Amino acid sequence: MNAKQKKWLAIGGLLLVLGAVKIWFIAHYLLDKPAQAAEPPQALACASPTAGCVLPGGGSLRFTTPPSYRQPFELTLSGVAAKEAPSIEFSMAQMDMGFNRYRLVANGQGGWHASVRLPVCASGGRDWIATINLDGRLYTLPLRVG
């Protein structure tokens, strides 16, 4: 086998490895996707996410730092009993912004916490929809990210 054949064999092997990694990431995303709720998402109404939003049945969602593109922002979910770790997914209504799902982690005080970093929209859009999954119940919250 000459040097040229070895080079092409190495390139082919690398492409196979990269393809396997891509398939693994896609499968991981699809398997980790929360099950669709039997009920449609319930809209949360709140004056300001930094002041806190009350969830039906008790509990609150509060952004401890304002949603921003420039730096990660923090949010907490408190006063809820969850069998599984809640998750929050961010999307735009008319723009595919990729995978922006975050699993909240227990904060040790009976609540949940997440640190979020959102991508900047190339078209300049700032209106996001946060979808909270709490044990299969979905809640949506429109956000304006600065």
- pLDDT, tens digit (0-9, with 9 covering 90-100), for 49-104: 888 888 887 889 999 988 988 789 999 999 988 888 999 999 998 888 888 999 99
Indicate if 22 and 55 belong to the same structural domain.
no
Q: Phi and psi dihedrals of 88, rounded to 5? A: -135, 135
Indicate if 67 and 131 belong to the same structural domain.
yes
What amino acid occupies position 110?
Answer: G
Quote the pTM value. 0.72
Domain encompassing residue 66: 42-144
Return the closest-CA partner of residue 113 out of 66, 40, 53, 64: 64
Cα distances (angstroms) measured from residue 29 to each of 32, 63, 96, 115, 129 = 5, 26, 16, 19, 20
Q: Is residue 37 part of a domain?
A: no
- The whole-angstrom separation of Cα 33 and Cα 45 is 25
Indicate if 28 and 47 belong to the same structural domain.
no
What pLDDT is recorded for position 38? 63
Contact 94, 127 (CB under 8 A): no
Question: Looking at the predicted structure, is the pLDDT value of residue 18 above 80?
Answer: yes
